[in-house]
Structure 1
Amino acid sequence: MLLVQVIVVALVIWGIWHNVQKAVDQVQQQNFSFQELRWPWLVAAGGLYLLGSLPMGLFWLRLMRAMQQKPTTWSGIRAFFIGHLGKYVPGKALVVVLRTSLVQGESLKRSVVATAVFAETLTMVSVGAVYAAILISLWFSDRQILLWLAIGIAVAASFVTLPPVFRKIVLILKVAKINPEIAENLAGLNYPVMAWGWVANLIGWTLLGSSLYAVMASIPDADPHLASFTQMFPLLAATVCLAMVAGFVTPIPGGMGVREFVIMEMMAPVFGPVVAVVSAVLLRVVWLFAELALAIILYGIPASPPTAELASAEIPPAEEDPAQNPA
């Protein structure tokens, strides 16, 4: 078990280092100095990213409970955020491994927990793609390639997340061999639960778009083209949604390169190529360090407090006072 944990940590560290190194190299190629940045805006960007991820984590908890699992809220949120680091490892399967191994609670079946991870991720992709497609079609219809990319992903992901379709896919994958009760568990995954997830993800994606605004506000060279938040939001939200969604549907660790390409394609016509590249790289670095910092903090906090051990500890009986018991 210890060897497995060491391997997982080593893979995560390698993935993070690889992503950071490539990002910094891209910024240096633009002759941009990090000293020019407004750091409070970058801190705000990291905070908005983590806040925007929270509704998605709560949806994962909602899915598990709908499928008759009883995870504790704290362990679920902890597993969700630590699991983010798994996407920087090739294949991204480590996300599922980390979440299923870290979440705690009653009546937890790893097959159901893993199924909930896939349902949550597909819903996030679906909502993000639909969000991007609507914004691009309304404000940036001239970006035909990106528009059709968003529509294609939106249609595919939305179809897969329809409860009857998703249940059928899980059964086709022979999960019943691992868990004979999977059909009964999947019965709880219905339209009201998925609607709850859509609302949660819409809130989350909106906050992620706000995070990109904070990144742009941190770059002095972006000032001449940076309008008010309400004016910039359609561009920023569409950019974040499509960039992350495109990155998720590729096997590349962290969507490296794919996310940056989409961001540069969306931002360059407004801010110019240099600011577009810098913003793409900064967004990745800020989000990565926000994930890493929170994961380190959460990993140092137990998934379940030791209250049960204290409660079960025997309290020694009080010694009798001989003076009070003359017999």
Structure 2
Amino acid sequence: MPPSPKLTSPENPDIPESQEVPRAKLWKKRVMLLVQLIVVALVVWGIWHNVDKAIDQVQQQNFSFQKLRWPWIFAAGLLYLLGSFPMSLFWIRLMRAMHQKPTTYSAIRAFFIGHLGKYVPGKALVVVLRTSLVQGENLKRSVVATAVFAETLTMVSVGAVYAAILISLWFSDRQLLLWLAIGIALAASFVTLPPVFRTIVLTLKVSKINPEIERNLAGLNYPVMAWGWGANLFGWTLLGSSLFAVMASIPDADSHLPSFMQMFPLLAATVCLAMVAGFITPIPGGMGIREFVIMEMMAPVFGPVVAVVSAVLLRISWLLAELALAIILYGIPASAPTTDNTSSEIASSEEDPAQNPA
């Protein structure tokens, strides 16, 4: 009986097909490893650039780090992470409303590790990190990325509205900052209206990547967005408390820090507007923009030196908290990924009551 003919690769007839497939997989692994190394290098560079510039700003004020009450710096970082947690839950809720089934731990892990992407120019790496790290049953990356944008825009919208209300009630003399907050609040809030957001996504021709995107978007309705507003309001309140912890760490600020309740409107408005203004710029980490807003808001009360130091300490405490948590979460991997970009499986209306648009 004659031997069976060997199957060969159409690209290279001299190489058996059984050898060509493993080689293709090997090259794919090498490319993915190279991409991961580039991403890590960009994140490390972005973080180092931000820390180095922040420390330089403090040194220019002739301020000594030895004066600081370090437990308060630790508390500031912890409050920042706690304030971000409700926002991560909203991202999960958005994905599930759009018929995705991410695992809770992998989504929270992806959310916080993805935070480091904002220190890279353009901030697009945030979306890349989140969509690549989140895991679950039959996830579509196009829907996961859409949820990232919806969550981020809602965070910006709530922060800007929060800042506009506080500034208009207590600091109406800061006209420039007030109109900045109002402008961002109106623009971001309009974009996050469910019908408007759906129209924008469909206009961007996402349906070419995912033909079922319109059906996915049907789950993004007013009750879901209202839940997100509540979660973000709670989160922004904790972020404002984080700035109070930073101020409490600076001895020179004691005389101007009578009580938490008296200072909270100023601190919350400052954090909200500073972060929102930083987010809408392509500058990595909003470097310079956040510091400008904090100085404009804080200097009339605490003086220019304390204002600059507080802005820098807020950045450092938040960055180190993000980095520490990202390292911990990265070291605790999620279960094996089951993401499927081509799956058309969608949860039924009985399993997901949030699918009917308002």
TM-score calculated relative to the size of structure 2: 0.85
Q: Pairwise mapping of residues 1-327 of structure 1 onto structure 2 (< 5 A)? A: 1-304=32-335
Give distance in 2, aligned partners of 1:16 and 1:132: 27
**What is the CA RMSD across the aligned residues, in angstroms?**
0.8
Find the aligned partners of 1:100 and 1:37 in 2 and give their Cα distance. 39
Taking every aligned residue pair, what percent have the same amino acid on both sides? Answer: 89
CA deviation digits over 1:48-96, x for unaligned, max 9? 0000000000000000000000000000000000000000000000000
Q: Which amino acid aligns with 2:166?
A: L
State how far apart, in whole Å, the 1-side matches of 2:206 and 2:271 are.
34
* Cα offset, 1:302, TM superposition: 1.1
**What residue in structure 2 maps to residue 310 of structure 1?**
none
2 CA distance for matches of 1:241 and 1:257? 15
Q: Hey, what's the Cα distance between the residues in 1 that align with 2:309 and 2:73?
A: 13
User: Structure 1 regions of 5+ residues with no counterpart?
Assistant: 307-327
The alpha-carbon deviation at position 304 of structure 1 amounts to 2.0
Call closer, same or farther: CA 1:154–1:42 in 2, change over 3 Å. Answer: same
Structure 1 position 197, deviation (Å): 0.1
- Structure 2: unaligned runs, 5 residues or longer: 1-31, 338-358
Q: Which amino acid aligns with 2:67?
A: E
Q: Distance in 2 between matches of 1:304 and 1:78?
A: 12
d(CA) in 2 for partners of 1:70 and 1:36?
49
Which amino acid is the alignment partner of residue 159 of structure 2? G
Q: Provide Cα deviations, 1:97-139, integer angstroms capped at 9, x if missing partner.
A: 0000000000200000000000000000000000000000000
Hey, which bits of structure 1, 4+ residues long, moved more than 3 A?
Answer: none
Q: In structure 2, what residue type is equivalent to 1:160?
A: V
Query: What SS is found at the alignment partner of 2:291?
Result: helix
Q: Which amino acid aligns with 1:245?
A: V
- Provide the rounded CA distance (Å) in 1 between the counterparts of 2:94 and 2:73: 32
What is the alpha-carbon distance in structure 2 between the residues aligned to residue 129 and residue 108 of structure 1?
Answer: 31
| CA distance in structure 2 between the partners assigned to 1:34 and 1:255 by the alignment | 23
Equivalent-residue separation in structure 1 for 2:261 and 2:191 (angstroms): 33
- Cα distance change of structure 1 residues 305 and 41 upon mapping to structure 2, 3 Å threshold: farther
Distance 1:67 1:192 in 2: 13
**Count of matched residue pairs:** 306
CA shift, 1:303, in A, is 1.0
- What whole-Å deviation, never above 9, does each CA across 1:24-53 have from its counterpart, x for those lacking one? 000000000101000000000000000000
Distance 2:334 2:283 in 1: 30
> What is the Cα deviation at residue 305 of structure 1?
8.0
Partners of 2:140 and 2:117 in 1: CA distance: 21
